[in-house]
């Protein structure tokens, strides 16, 4: 349960163990807030302690603002507060690959600690535990869906965070390797045999101590120290090799990463990861696409209704907005079954808004023009930290929804059965972000 309030900035408490601020991000937010206001409220707990939004809060302080819009959530304990902070960071922040992997690993550990992560083999039929625990338990498949990736990708992120030694991570931080997923994976896998020896020795040492066998405990401690030292040596050697490869092939590698795929590179059934977004090439009314979507999104936006077999969206998103021209919109509304609420008019374009919930008809601002302006308005109006930050786009158009989500810190699940449109949207996103898209399958 959460509520939105206006809070005096001087009353907000910030814990000292937060991730360091990025000055460039604060400067960018300061400029944006000065021009457009605060689009996304910061998140506080019931004691007005900051959960998420330190960069936004700092930008508002630098602007001399005395109050700020806040999403107030109730956290029962420190673990719940930390989960809320992790979720905010995973969705909003421009994280390096190492940071993202560590956050998912920490999230998984917290869920295990509080009993909300299902054990391997658990399902809704085979356990006799209490239904309250079962109903909120998450499998690795659930976690992967929340991350917007496949279970394999989430497993590989876990491997990076879990297996790279802390002292090696500190060397990697703030270097280009920290954002190189494949390089991090190579380092994590270096010394895998020694990693097994460390785990076995830790278990044996603990058992020996429980049995009061000090001599065996000391022997296992020595094995553990030797295995960990060898693992560190191998990981540092691998890090050096990864750095050499990067330097030797840097120009070619950068070109490869930002090279936009053309329509011949895109195959029906492809899943592409664009940072925290997902783009699917194929029928967006198919079960394959539907199964990739989060269980509940805040908003679905459709900018083309032909052919239409997407009534399922009303059960996947709190609000569905369809943007069409006058002749198309009335024909569309007559031939589908979604619960219509109201329509908005932007120049020659109509937006039909559908929802199971009773939502108030927002007043249309007067200075919005074009598809991108309409999409930005809809995303700002119908998504936030309390409503949700997932946006569905079952047709890509010219990539307007994808780019808007990137700009506004939302997570977009998009698709189109036209490889040319998929290639064009990916190219546009890559040009805007300077990052590379990755084929997931």
pLDDT tens digits for 218-253?
Answer: 999 999 999 999 999 999 999 999 888 765 544 433
What does the pLDDT average to over 112-135? Answer: 46
| Residue 334: inside a domain | yes
Q: Are residues 223 and 287 in the same domain?
A: no
* C-alpha separations of 165 from 154, 204, 246 in Å: 19, 20, 21
Note the pLDDT of residue 213: 93
- Of 284, 396, 302, 397, the C-alpha closest to 352 is 302
Q: What CA–CA distance (Å, rounded) separates 190 from 267?
A: 34
Token readout for 184 is: 């991090």
Beta-carbon contacts of residue 9 (< 8 Å; ≥ 6 apart):
57, 60, 61, 65, 66, 67, 68
Q: What CA–CA distance (Å, rounded) separates 143 from 147?
A: 6
Q: What CA–CA distance (Å, rounded) separates 117 from 276?
A: 22
Q: Are residues 222 and 291 in the same domain?
A: no
| Residue 200: inside a domain | yes
- Of 228, 230, 232, the C-alpha closest to 240 is 232
Q: Are residues 318 and 408 in the same domain?
A: yes
Q: What is the pLDDT of residues 261-311, one digit of tens each?
A: 666 688 899 999 888 899 999 999 999 999 888 878 899 999 876 678 898
Note the pLDDT of residue 17: 61
Token readout for 24 is: 């460039």
Q: Are residues 210 and 304 in the same domain?
A: no
Which of residues 248, 281, 316 is at a domain's end?
A: 248
Q: What global pTM score does this model have? A: 0.52
Q: Are residues 72 and 193 in the same domain?
A: no
Token readout for 383 is: 């998504």
Note the pLDDT of residue 256: 42
pLDDT interval class at 369 (50, 70, 90): low
CB 351 within 8 A of CB 323: yes
Q: What CA–CA distance (Å, rounded) separates 145 from 390?
A: 12
Q: What is the pLDDT of residues 137-159, one digit of tens each?
A: 566 677 676 666 677 888 888 89
Residue-averaged pLDDT of the chain:
81
| Residue 144: inside a domain | no
| Residue 234: inside a domain | yes
Query: 296 or 161: which carries more pLDDT confidence?
Result: 161
CATH number for the domain that contains residue 389: 3.40.50.150
Mean pLDDT lowest for which of 15-19, 90-94, 125-129? 125-129
End-to-end CA distance of the chain: 37
H/E segment holding residue 253: helix 250-258
Domain count, the chain: 3
* C-alpha separations of 202 from 19, 109, 225, 232 in Å: 30, 19, 10, 17
Q: What CA–CA distance (Å, rounded) separates 273 from 396?
A: 15
Q: What is the pLDDT of residues 71-119, one digit of tens each?
A: 888 877 778 778 877 777 776 556 788 988 898 888 888 888 777 665 5
Please say whether the dihedral angle defined by the alpha carbons of residues 282, 284, 285 and 286, taken in this order, is positive or negative. Answer: positive
pLDDT interval class at 381 (50, 70, 90): confident
Which of residues 77, 97, 120 is at a domain's end?
A: 77
Using a 10 angstrom Cβ sphere, with 0-12 exposed, 13-18 middle and 19 or more buried, the burial of residue 128 is exposed
pLDDT interval class at 161 (50, 70, 90): very high
Note the pLDDT of residue 275: 82
CB 353 within 8 A of CB 343: yes
Four-point Cα dihedral 315, 111, 117, 155, nearest 10: 90
Q: Are residues 375 and 309 in the same domain?
A: yes
DSSP-derived secondary structure for 141-167? HHHHHHHTS-HHHHHHHHHHHHHS-HH
pLDDT at 254 over 80: no
Note the pLDDT of residue 2: 63
Domain residue limits at 222: 164-248
Q: Are residues 170 and 317 in the same domain?
A: no
Q: Are residues 304 and 192 in the same domain?
A: no
pLDDT at 40 over 90: no
pLDDT at 174 over 90: no
CB 322 within 8 A of CB 328: no
């Amino acid at each position: 349960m959460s509520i939105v309030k206006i809070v005096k900035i001087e009353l907000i408490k910030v814990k000292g163990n937060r991730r360091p601020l990025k000055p460039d991000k604060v400067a960018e937010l300061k400029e944006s807030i000065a021009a457009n206001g605060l689009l996304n409220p910061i998140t506080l707990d019931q004691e007005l302690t900051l959960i998420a939004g330190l960069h936004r809060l700092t930008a508002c302080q630098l602007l001399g603002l005395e109050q700020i819009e806040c999403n107030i959530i109730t956290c029962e304990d420190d673990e719940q507060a930390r989960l809320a902070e992790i979720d905010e960071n995973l969705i909003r922040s421009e994280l390096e690959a190492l940071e993202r992997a560590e956050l998912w690993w920490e999230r998984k550990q917290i869920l295990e600690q509080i009993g909300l992560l299902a054990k391997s083999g658990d399902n809704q039929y085979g356990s006799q535990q209490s239904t309250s625990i079962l109903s909120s338990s998450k499998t690795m498949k659930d976690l992967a869906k929340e991350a917007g990736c496949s279970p394999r990708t989430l497993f590989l992120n876990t491997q990076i965070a879990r297996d790279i030694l802390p002292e090696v991570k500190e060397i990697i931080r703030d270097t280009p390797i920290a954002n190189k997923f494949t390089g991090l994976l190579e380092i994590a896998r270096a010394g895998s045999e020694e990693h097994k020896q460390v785990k076995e020795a830790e278990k044996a040492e603990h058992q020996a101590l429980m049995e009061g066998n000090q001599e065996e405990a000391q022997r296992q401690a020595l094995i553990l120290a030797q295995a960990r030292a060898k693992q560190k040596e191998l990981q540092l050697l691998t890090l050096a090799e990864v750095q050499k490869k990067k330097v030797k092939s840097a120009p070619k590698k950068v070109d490869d990463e930002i090279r936009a795929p053309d329509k011949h590179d895109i195959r029906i059934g492809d899943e592409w990861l664009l940072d925290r977004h997902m783009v699917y090439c194929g029928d967006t009314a198919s079960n394959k696409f539907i199964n990739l979507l989060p269980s509940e999104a805040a908003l679905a936006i459709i900018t083309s209704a032909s052919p239409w077999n997407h009534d399922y969206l009303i059960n996947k998103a709190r609000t569905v907005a369809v943007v069409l021209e006058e002749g198309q919109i009335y024909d569309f509304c007559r031939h589908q079954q979604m619960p219509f609420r109201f329509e908005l008019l932007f120049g020659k374009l109509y937006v039909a808004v559908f929802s199971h919930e009773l939502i108030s008809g927002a007043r249309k601002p007067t200075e919005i023009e074009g598809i991108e302006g309409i999409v930005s308005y809809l995303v700002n109006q119908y998504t936030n930290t309390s409503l949700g930050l997932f946006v569905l786009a079952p047709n890509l158009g010219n990539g307007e929804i994808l780019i808007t989500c990137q700009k506004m810190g939302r997570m977009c699940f998009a698709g189109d059965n036209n490889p040319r449109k998929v290639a064009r949207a990916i190219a546009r996103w890559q040009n805007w972000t300077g990052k590379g898209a990755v084929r997931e399958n």
